[in-house]
Chain A
Amino acid sequence: SQTIHQWPATLVQPVGSPLSLECTVEGTSNPNLYWYRQAAGRGLQLLFYSVGIGQISSEVPQNLSASRPQDRQFILSSKKLLLSDSGFYLCAWSVGLGSNQPQHFGDGTRLSIL
């Protein structure tokens, strides 16, 4: 069966520090991968998605970047964190390109910027 792992579960970082959140998927090949953020009191906002190794699409302009160095690995990064980067970050995967393929989420990373 397929599983998705995100780490760390919680992270407290000072403003201006770098960030690296990692997500890996097991049990499937060539998944679509996604990074979402849920800010306090708001819904989930899509940040990045990837349909293959090295292929990254950004949905909103921001202080973050994403990379996909391997088929089942998706990394969210920042060189200098801002206070507004605080939130709950979720990685998700889906198979196929059809609209009817549900996405499956990891348990998320709670990021607090001080």
Chain B
Amino acid sequence: DQQVKQNSPSLSVQEGRISILNCDYTNSMFDYFLWYKKYPAEGPTFLISISSIKDKNEDGRFTVFLNKSAKHLSLHIVPSQPGDSAVYFCAATLGSSNTGKLIFGQGTTLQVKP
């Protein structure tokens, strides 16, 4: 049972435009959502997170939006840069779990074209 889903395996955008990466989840008990960025042959790097009590969190070019009623979150990158080309994973944690373990989506490969 895939509790966190990224239904778009890939996305291609032009440099300078907005990149929107989407993620859906099924478990309403998730209390934190995180986005990670991964380059080939490297481990994922933490990008940005959002608490389930908020609907938006912004950090520079990166903004995460959370729609709890739709069980949907998205990551916006504005403006997109070629260096943003990577695989992006969304992940969620359960508040009832005190281990902080993450449940990941399948990832979306973003390509930003110069």
Binding site for B on A (CB under 8 A): 4, 6, 9, 32, 34, 36, 41-46, 49, 51, 57, 59, 90, 92, 94, 96-108, 110
Contact = CB atoms under 8 A, between A and B. Distances in A.
B27 interface: no
19 contacts: A32-B99, A41-B106, A42-B106, A43-B106, A43-B107, A44-B91, A44-B104, A46-B102, A46-B103, A51-B99, A59-B101, A96-B100, A100-B49, A100-B51, A100-B93, A103-B102, A105-B43, A107-B42, A108-B41
A41 B6 CA distance: 12
B96 to A, nearest CB: 9
A97 B106 contact: no
Contacts, number: 72
Contacts of A41: 106
B62 interface: no
Interface of B: 4, 6, 31-32, 34, 36, 41-46, 49, 51, 89, 91, 93-95, 97-107
Give the most central of B31, B43, B44: most A CB within 10 Å.
B43
B44 A105 contact: yes
A32 B89 CA distance: 21
A44 B102 CA distance: 9
B89 A102 contact: no
A99 B93 contact: yes
Given A32-B99, A42-B106, A43-B105, A103 B46 contact: yes
B1 to A, nearest CB: 12
A46 B94 CA distance: 14
B46 A99 contact: no
